[in-house]
Amino acid sequence: MKTLIEPFRIKSVEPLRLTTRDEREALIRAADYNVFLLRARDVIIDLLTDSGTGAMSAAQWAGIMRGDESYAGSDSFYRFEESVRDIFGFRNVIPTHQGRAAERILFSTLCGPGDVVPNNTHFDTTRANIEHTGAEALDLPCPESSDLAAQGPFKGNIDLEALEATIRERGAEHVPLVVVTITNNSGGGQPVSMANLRGASEICHEHGIPLYIDACRFAENAYFIRKREEGYAHRSYLEIAREMFSLADGCTMSAKKDGLANIGGFLATNDDELAREERDLLILTEGFPTYGGLAGRDLEAIAIGLREVLEPDYLEYRIGSTGYLGRHIAEAGVPIVQPPGGHAIYIDAAAFCPHIAPLEFPGIALTVALYRAAGIRSVEIGSVMFGHRDPDTGEPQPARQELVRLAIPRRVYTQSHIDYVVEAILDVWERREELPGYRITDAPEVLRHFSARFAPLA
Ligand code: F0G
């Protein structure tokens, strides 16, 4: 069969409100052309993020009813711990309310001024939590990743030569840990190979530095290893996941992605002494170590979700539908980060709208056009999100890239929804020369993409 069907049927539906183009025109104007300021009910297909937006299975909902809400020693915690230990292999499992809480605890325990933490590419919250301790967050993406349009099996890899050089230059005592993010979200959702993880592990351990994995999309990464790396075609996703984590000393996880849950995360490590310190910090802001800021029912949902996410039919559908979207728009000429990633398609907005200068925000132009055309919400990852001021002149500087991310929630949209998205993008592509640039009318100094207000240029 040629058609890749969704490996589930639908038991409970959430109606979509189908707005008209005129309604959307008024709504986006009222939101000052920032899709973060729209109400979700005014969005038809919401591709803002794949985080916490997935649909749970019947088994997970059954788990919700089984949630044990005991403050200490809840059964749900032990089921959660067993799932995490079985897949990730780490002895100490510390639940947190989401990924960034795990990051805050980890980095505030290990890092301080004068330290540097390398990563293939830090996600924004990872970077912010490292910088908050006074340490430096250093991105070391592999050289292939800088050519957005180039194909490559593992463009998410960390640059091993640069990693080795950084450790030698800075001194191992100033590198409290190294992180590898799988898949590399900020780098286009591209995977990291087992060989690259092994290389990073060897370098770290030679220098006595712990290696951590930012595991948000670990199952998607395992899928790519099985399909693209020699020697893994006959290994199960569970085996591949176990091998990936066996190379590391710990991990942080946002269960809002490959935990198939709407909230939750964890921090895991084999270092018992460190785990003790981390649990002490956990109690300060998250909660007792057997719930860590989550309800017992959330722990149940994650325990089940972590197993479902490794099911072959699910992963075929998941990566298949992201690839389907990417292929169909790329075939029509739309410039995207190649090859399609696991959780999202990234459109190169600078190449899509070459007539709009970076500081006139081609990414905003595209997010507004997609909303107007079809009620699709995407997100700019460009000069609004990562633009900065020149430290000497104070002049605004563009970001390295102007991307628009279409992140696909898990098990939420069907192929006809994706076909609708393809049609909308192609419609905007046909009229791309008409898209205006934008100027900022009001914005805070930090994290401005969330609340900035814009106006179209004449
Ligand atoms: N690490 C990566 C690679 C992420 O993509 C995210 C979240 C986090 C850590 C933080 O996890 O949100 O549970 O605190 N990414 C979301 C996104 C928000 O839209 O890509 P969190």
- Taking residues 255-276, what's their average pLDDT? 98
127 and 170: one domain? yes
184 and 82: one domain? yes
**C-alpha 258 to ligand 1 mean position (Å):** 11
pLDDT of residue 268: 98
Residues 45-68: tens digit of each pLDDT: 999 999 999 999 999 999 999 999
156 half-sphere exposure, CB direction, 13 A CA radius = 31
Specify if 343 maps to a domain.
yes
Q: Is the CB of 185 under 6 A from ligand 1?
A: yes
- Taking residues 285-289, what's their average pLDDT? 95
- Taking residues 385-411, what's their average pLDDT? 92
Residues 430-452: tens digit of each pLDDT: 999 999 999 999 998 778 899 99
The span from the CA of 363 to the CA of 353, in Å, is: 9
425 pLDDT band (50/70/90 cuts)?
very high
pLDDT above 80: residue 152 = yes
Torsion of CA 388, 391, 394, 400, to 10 degrees: -30
pLDDT above 90: residue 278 = yes
Q: Is the CB of 109 under 6 A from ligand 1?
A: no
CB count, 10 Å around CB of 458? 5
* This prediction's pTM: 0.96
Q: Is the CB of 341 under 6 A from ligand 1?
A: no
pLDDT of residue 57: 98
Phi-psi region of 335 (alpha: psi -120 to 50; beta: other; left: phi over 0): beta
pLDDT of residue 389: 86
Tell which residue, 87, 54, 48, has the closest CA to residue 253: 87
- Taking residues 99-127, what's their average pLDDT? 96
Going from the C-alpha of 391 to that of each of 385, 396, 447, the distances in angstroms are: 17, 10, 18
Going from the C-alpha of 368 to that of each of 49, 363, 440, the distances in angstroms are: 16, 9, 14
91 and 39: one domain? no
69 and 195: one domain? yes
- Taking residues 141-149, what's their average pLDDT? 94
275 and 380: one domain? no
Residues 189-222: tens digit of each pLDDT: 999 999 999 999 999 999 999 999 999 999 999 9
408 and 384: one domain? yes
328 and 300: one domain? no
Domain extent at residue 39:
21-50+311-456
- Give the range among 40-49, 323-332, 382-391 with minimum mean pLDDT: 382-391
Ligand 1 atom with least separation from CA of 379: 19
387 pLDDT band (50/70/90 cuts)?
confident
Specify if 383 maps to a domain.
yes
pLDDT of residue 445: 79
pLDDT of residue 317: 96
pLDDT of residue 306: 98
pLDDT of residue 386: 87
Percent of the chain clearing pLDDT 70 (strictly above): 100
218 and 330: one domain? no
276 and 362: one domain? no
Specify if 4 maps to a domain.
no
Ligand 1 atom with least separation from CA of 49: 19
CA of residue 48 relative to chain centroid, distance: 11
346 pLDDT band (50/70/90 cuts)?
very high
**C-alpha 404 to ligand 1 mean position (Å):** 16
Backbone phi and psi for residue 13, each to the nearest 5 degrees, phi listed first:
-115, 155
Q: Is the CB of 137 under 6 A from ligand 1?
A: no
pLDDT of residue 313: 97
pLDDT of residue 233: 98
pLDDT above 80: residue 458 = no
356 and 420: one domain? yes
Specify if 75 maps to a domain.
yes
Please name the residue whose Cα sits nearest to atom 19 of ligand 1: 49
Q: Is the CB of 100 under 6 A from ligand 1?
A: yes
Q: Of 271, 292, 308, at which residue does a domain stop?
A: 308
pLDDT above 80: residue 187 = no
319 and 416: one domain? yes
Mean pLDDT for the chain? 96
Asked if 309 and 342 count as a contact pair (C-beta separation under 8 A), the reply is: no
284-322 burial, b at 16+ Cβ within 10 Å, e below that, comes to eebbbbbbbbbbbbbbbbbbbbbebbbeeebbebbbebb
- Taking residues 400-409, what's their average pLDDT? 96
Q: Is the CB of 264 under 6 A from ligand 1?
A: no
Q: Is the CB of 125 under 6 A from ligand 1?
A: yes
pLDDT of residue 444: 87
CATH code of the domain covering residue 292? 3.40.640.10
285 and 335: one domain? no
pLDDT of residue 332: 97
Q: Is the CB of 214 under 6 A from ligand 1?
A: yes
pLDDT of residue 370: 98
pLDDT above 80: residue 264 = yes
pLDDT above 80: residue 178 = yes
